[in-house]
Amino acid sequence: MKKTKTKLFHKLSVKSKFLMIILGVAVICISVIGYQGLDYGKSSLTKSMYDHLTSIKTARAQQTENYFNDTNSLLKTLVSEYAIVDAMKEFSAGFSLLDSYKVELSKDYKKIFNFYYEKELIPALNKVSATEFGYSTLVPKKESVEYLQLHYIVNNAAREGKKYLLDDANDGSYYSQVHKKFNPVLRKIVENQDFSDLFLINAKSRQIVYSSNKHIDFATSLLDGPYKDSPLAKLAHDIIQKPQQGRVYISDFAKYVPAMNQPRAFLAIPIYQKHEFLGILAIAISNKKLNKITTGDREWEKAGLGKSGEVYIIGNDNKMRTESRELIQNPKKYLQELNNTKEDPKIVATIAKTKSTVLAQKIHSKSAKLALKGESGTIVDRNCLGVKVLSSYEPLNIDGLNWAILAQKSIKEAEAPIRELQNALLVSATILATLITFYAIWIAYSFLSPVNRMVKGVKSVIFKDSREKINLNRDDEFGELADNIDIMIDKLSEQEKNLEEKSKENDALLLNILPEPIVNRVKNGEKHIAERVNNVAVLFSVLRGFDQLALQKEPQESIELLNELINQFDKLNEQFGIEKITTIGDSYMSASGLIQPRLDYARRVCECALKMFDVVENFNAIHASNIQLSIGVDGGEVMSGIVGEYKYVYDIWGEPVNNANRISQEAHPGTLRVSLAIYKQLIDQEKYKQCSDGTIESYAIAAQSIKS
């Protein structure tokens, strides 16, 4: 074993040994320093990456909790104001008066009212909702409700979403006097706080005696009206069952039909005058404010979330309470990627129609489950699209809601700084190694200049870069070796010249019997060349009467005549891009689409076949002969390859070859007969007639019929 190692070492050049020592030491030093730097850098960047995402998540969580805490505080402040108490009492009184007067709409007003619901409201609602709604389920049945909705919604000149601008309906009712008095104040609260709506609900009747934004829930009863099962009605029921003075009740986001079936959450607080429970002050909030918090007002990159990061909130049902960044920025891509997951197609359809992930998109990730269990942390997870992400999560501390917040960023993007560090270290190591290599080469060259010249000269001979002689002009062993190399170069040049001439001769011979692509494969060393080829048309032709003509001629003249025909057939094949396969006596075989795939392989071979009839006709005219040609064509999958090892030929075989041969024998003299497979691909099928005397279904065309 020791002896073997010594021999291997001695086989290396002195220059190589010298370079190995210098480079070995350099590589070890670079590797140790690089590994330590990379390890420390990766640890620092990973910690920074985790900390940064966690800080973004924590900040957004704090903003969300502060929003709800501030809203709770505001409701507690408002309910203690005399204005709210007075408004609750007076709106209730105004509503009671309308009931006592038994107001009723005239036929004309009734018609206008119904038209609004049937032709304007319900179509607009169904357009943006995944659920279909009908007139009978939404229209109020109570006369006082119809009266107020007619004056404050239907006949309100302000556009939808601005109905709150109307202070007085000018109907002369006491209710309108109260509305004119309190609406500006209540409207200001809604505008300043960016609430979706503000309600005053009577404790006894559960009637919405006031609604700021005047949606179709205005004036309806939450006890027996169209929205008795709505989240607002359920919240009002809970408060009325156990009213606690000063407590803010909350209802999670749910689809709310009066708000065009958009998601709404409700916060409500009982209204008391001393110890008397008068009613409920409720507000509706959309997810607009929450979206602004989680998206950073859509400034994701400025917030440090890069191109893929996002923050969103989920509820106890695992559904999102805020919008997905991907849906906001690229909805088409989001839906396409969502379709590629195992998500329920109904959910995807809902998101596509509503253009929102709120209360539609479910999050089943590990981080979501942990957060809803009350845990916090940062892990590598997969988002709803199946993308690998870094996910930071924690539960939200909001009384009455079991929510969680997640901050996520594509792991590919999150780890980009680590990859950049790796690349930077790799570049630095490469540059350093290159400089050391050049330095080592320079030292080695200085000591081993004569050897380098010899090595360079020998390499140029080996790799055929040049045939220049080496002249060291030395009288020592190196000079003697250089002289011997010069002699070797002369002999090599002479041998190469002879080899090139032989190679050209061999190539010419091969091209006469094999296609050019097959020749190249043979020259590259392939021995067993065979393959399946689809969409190949095989032509078989038979010269009828040539044997009789040949008997009347001398052998030399017979072969000249046969060559005259075959050569013209070969030219036609070349003209139509068809590959000649072989000739067997007076039979000729070629194929289209074999070497080079062609869409019109069937048309080419048939047109070539018809030209072959012209060749035979001209031949007969020149030589006063009566040779007739029969041609058969079939197409499909064939096998091709080189047959034989010492005397090889390129051949094809398969059912189309057998069929073409059989059809050519069955074809009448002067006709082209094609199989059904070829016939189907021809555009001039009307010229062909079905044959009744063949072994397989075939179609024939006489050469003379083409000319006529």
Q: Is 698 helix (H, G, I), strand (E, B) or coil?
A: strand
Instruction: For residue 623, give the nearest of 508, 545, 706, 687 by alpha carbon.
Output: 545
Burial (CB count within 10 angstroms: exposed 0-12, middle 13-18, buried 19+), residue 551: exposed
In the predicted model, what is the mean pLDDT of residues 570-576?
A: 94
Task: Grade residue 216 by pLDDT with cuts at 50, 70 and 90.
Answer: very high
How far is the CA of 172 from the CAs of 95, 109, 112, 139, in angstroms? 14, 17, 20, 25
**Interatomic CA distance for residues 672 and 611, integer angstroms:** 11
Is the pLDDT score of 174 beyond 90? yes
In the predicted model, what is the mean pLDDT of residues 35-41?
A: 60
Range of weakest confidence among 149-153, 342-346, 702-706: 702-706
Neighbours of 571 (CB within 10 A): 12
Task: Grade residue 516 by pLDDT with cuts at 50, 70 and 90.
Answer: low
Range of weakest confidence among 64-78, 389-403, 484-498, 521-535: 484-498
Is the pLDDT score of 628 beyond 90? yes
Residue 399: in which H helix or E strand, if any? none
Is the pLDDT score of 1 beyond 50? no
In the predicted model, what is the mean pLDDT of residues 359-364?
A: 91
Query: Tens digits of per-residue pLDDT, 253-281?
Result: 999 999 999 999 999 999 999 889 999 99
In the predicted model, what is the mean pLDDT of residues 566-577?
A: 94
Neighbours of 83 (CB within 10 A): 13
Segments of 547-622 assigned E as strands: 579-584, 587-592
Instruction: For residue 437, give the nearest of 30, 11, 35, 10 by alpha carbon.
Output: 30
Query: Tens digits of per-residue pLDDT, 128-137?
Result: 887 888 888 8
How far is the CA of 359 from the CAs of 252, 256, 262, 296, 407, in angstroms? 10, 12, 10, 21, 18
Is the pLDDT score of 704 beyond 80? no
Q: At what angle do helices 516-523 and 477-513 cross, to 10 degrees?
A: 150
CA angle 655, 656, 657 (to 5 degrees): 90
Contact 319, 361 (CB under 8 A): yes
In the predicted model, what is the mean pLDDT of residues 587-613?
A: 93
Is the pLDDT score of 411 beyond 90? no
Please give the pLDDT value at position 136: 85
How far is the CA of 505 from the CAs of 295, 359, 435, 509, 510, in angstroms? 76, 80, 51, 6, 9
| Residue 254 tokens, joined | 């749910």
The domains located in the chain, with CATH, are: 80-286 (3.30.450.20), 465-513 (no CATH), 516-707 (3.30.70.1230)
Is the pLDDT score of 424 beyond 70? yes
Please give the pLDDT value at position 10: 60
Range of weakest confidence among 284-293, 520-529, 608-617: 520-529
Range of weakest confidence among 207-211, 465-469, 566-570, 602-606: 465-469
**Rounded percentage of the chain residues whose pLDDT exceeds 90:** 53
Please give the pLDDT value at position 27: 75
> In sequence order, what DSSP letters do the residues of 186-223 get, joined into one string?
HHHHHHHHT-SEEEEEETTT-BEEEESS--TTTT-BTT
Please give the pLDDT value at position 703: 77
